[in-house]
Amino acid sequence: MAKILVTGAAGFIGSHVSERLLGRGDEVVGLDNFNDYYSVALKEARATRLAKHACFEMVRLDLSDRERMAALFAAQRFDKVIHLAAQAGVRYSLTNPHAYVDSNLVGFVNILEGCRHNGVEHLTYASSSSVYGANTTMPFSIHDNVDHPLSLYAATKKANELMAHTYSHLYRLPTTGLRFFTVYGPWGRPDMALFLFTKAILEGRPIDVFNHGKMQRDFTYIDDIAEGVVRVLDRPAAPDPA
């Protein structure tokens, strides 16, 4: 049994990943700041489900709080870390840029430092398909250039990949980033397209369509994401000589 920190545990992906880890017997410490980017009640409901497990503990903490984050890592001595917490949303970054800097950049440094100084075996973290930005070649590949992000959110996710790579190189910290494509399923986020479309249909309202209906998007079911995260967690990245 491993002791695992899951950040964003009251979030959509984080709650499902936590359930999967608890189901196989791991001890999970969840971290979340329960912000109001979308329904706090939904996040509380997810946390209540997780609290039914004897091996689960929820910590209410903001990633950007350097001192409390350092204290958490020092006290808990995690074996592994799954970092899923972030300020999400592309449009929101246009009007609230500092939220992305605080959570996605300052918060990520605090995660990296906590892992570095406390012997964490593997850091698995969420990147995003948004890093592909202006790329037009389909399907996307990990070998594609990702130097043209189209939003601050995407830029912070690209920065996370570079920061993790640097810590892996300097401190031999095994890190693995996962570029999630739009995730859907039970307990999902109400601001995502699938739920917005469904709600409009149920209420007899038209569905907003952009770019003359020519847009395409890849969707991934939550169970596949959760399984993938756990499988990756169990296989720490090997050192990259480059």
Catalytic residue numbers, as ranges = 153
- Helix, strand, coil shares, percent, the chain, to 5: 45, 15, 40
The residues with which 29 forms a beta bridge, in sequence order, are 5, 57
Neighbour-count burial of 30, counting CB atoms closer than 10 A to its CB (0-12 exposed, 13-18 middle, 19+ buried) = buried
The rounded radius of gyration (Å) of the Cα atoms in the chain is 18
In angstroms, the CA 180 to CA 146 distance is 15
DSSP single-letter state for residue 238 = P
In angstroms, the CA 197 to CA 51 distance is 31
